[in-house]
Amino acid sequence: MKPTLVTGASGFLGWHIARLLLERGHQVRALCREHSVIRELEVERVTGDLRDRASLDRATAGCGLVFHAAADYRLWAKHPEALYQTNVEGTRNLLEAAAAAGVERVVYTSTVGCIGIPRNGGVGDETTPVSISDMEGHYKRSKWLAEQVALEKASEGLPVVIVNPTAPVGDHDWRPTPTGKTIVDFLRGRIPAFIDTGLNLVDARDIALGHLFAAEHGRSGDRYILGCENLTLEQILERLALISGRKPPTTRLPYAVAYLSGLVSTGWAGVTGIEPLAPLEGVRMARKKMWVRQDKSFRELGFEPGPVDEALKRAVHWFQSNGYC
């Protein structure tokens, strides 16, 4: 069996993808930066960087499958050009290396942020019109541009399938991700109020399985949403309260107040270089509910995610057991 390359295996989704591949008997090769740590998994490690094409040629050599889950996932960066270098040009470098190596299939991990949401506040899917003008902030814009690179390479003949995960929850959220940070902040008692926003939550383990389904059944050049349940932030906090025994916040913060807080917090971060508590980019993103449907993934991939509550329970237990709160 040819090796399967996973980028981002030291992170949340990449780790779950690598774990599942190992469970299913794949020989997993992981692209890692020099000081990255992959915990609890026995994989073949290849040191490299998405910005270094020579390292990507070494990483993809002899591989049959590539799962590209690595990304610079930040809602604030003092030097935002770094996001474009990794997310856009890094994706281009990897896909070109995969094409040169004769890789049989690539699954590219995009984000639900690249899915269009109807302007009337409805539920989006893969067919909802969307453009770069709809992308709020550097992270979303860089991922949208990276998606265009993947579509371009698919049109040139490289078999690339795009998956758009929604907000992942679960165990082994090392950094943590923005969604995981919300859980940690709640457990630490740092969310005294909430704003009227919404997310689609999904178990990270199910996202990993969706990646494998995409590799097996997805159509090259197509996008597939990997999500589960649309929830308001208030509902998410109420579920976390039931799991943890903590009281949920009852104060709804007006968007104008949240925006002002994000403006001040992000402005101060620009002076100090310290990540803001309320990134303005995140506040702007929260103005609309990122609610989507995953009918296409169910129909074409056989993607059937399990209950979100079980993933939330595992996330709470894992964060508590690993000293995050």
Which is catalytic among the residues 108, 139, 224, 324? 139
User: What is the number of alpha carbons within 13 Å of residue 179 lying toward its C-beta?
Assistant: 25
- Please state which of the ranges 166-170, 171-175, 270-274, 319-323 shows the lowest mean pLDDT: 270-274
Whether the CB-CB separation of 180 and 135 falls below 8 Å is answered with: no
pLDDT value of residue 266? 78
Domain count, the chain: 1
pLDDT value of residue 273? 84
Q: Is 23 a domain residue?
A: yes
261 band by pLDDT with thresholds 50, 70 and 90 = confident
Instruction: Render pLDDT for 56-87 as a digit per residue (tens, 0 to 9).
Output: 999 999 999 999 999 999 888 888 999 999 99
The fraction of the chain above a pLDDT of 70, given in percent, is 100
Q: Is 212 a domain residue?
A: yes
In whole angstroms, what separates CA 154 from the centre of its chain? 21
Mean pLDDT of all residues belonging to the chain: 95
Q: Is 320 a domain residue?
A: no
pLDDT value of residue 283? 77
Q: Quick one: which of 218, 221, 205 has its CA closest to 21?
A: 205
Q: Is 264 a domain residue?
A: no
CA distances from 308 to 9, 115, 230, 273, 304 (A): 23, 21, 10, 35, 12
pLDDT value of residue 287? 85
Question: Is 84 among the residues known to form the active site?
Answer: no
Q: Is 325 a domain residue?
A: no
pLDDT value of residue 76? 81
Angle at 24 between CA 302 and CA 204, to 5 degrees: 55
Instruction: Render pLDDT for 141-198 as a digit per residue (tens, 0 to 9).
Output: 999 999 999 999 999 999 999 999 999 999 999 999 989 999 999 999 999 999 999 9
The CATH number linked to 150 is: 3.40.50.720
263 band by pLDDT with thresholds 50, 70 and 90 = confident
| Structure tokens, 318 | 């894992």
Q: Is 244 a domain residue?
A: no
Q: Is 129 a domain residue?
A: yes
Q: Is 116 a domain residue?
A: yes
Domain that holds residue 72: 4-173+200-231+291-307
